Structure 1
């Protein structure tokens, strides 16, 4: 099976999709912003999980 290797830390993945997701951990960009508290996230699912915390506060 092909290995997809991270050029930054040599982590290996069986799919390109998983490598692509992993590469975000090395990127400093955080394009997803919480409208309630302005916290920033690298991944949309992280923002969605965080947003649920604000919903529980109500």
Structure 2
């Protein structure tokens, strides 16, 4: 089995989320506000891109 090696894998990254965004990432459904999970994932992706210069 191959293991994924991530440079600086233990480094901490800070992402600011609303409580709703956090709950959406944890699996809570918001049927009347479907943009909550999208917004949270976008913030995570932006943090990855900014931290590791991924495009």
Bigger RCO of structures 1 and 2 (CA < 8 A, at least 6 apart): 2
Considering only CA atoms, is the larger Rg found in Structure 1 or Structure 2?
1
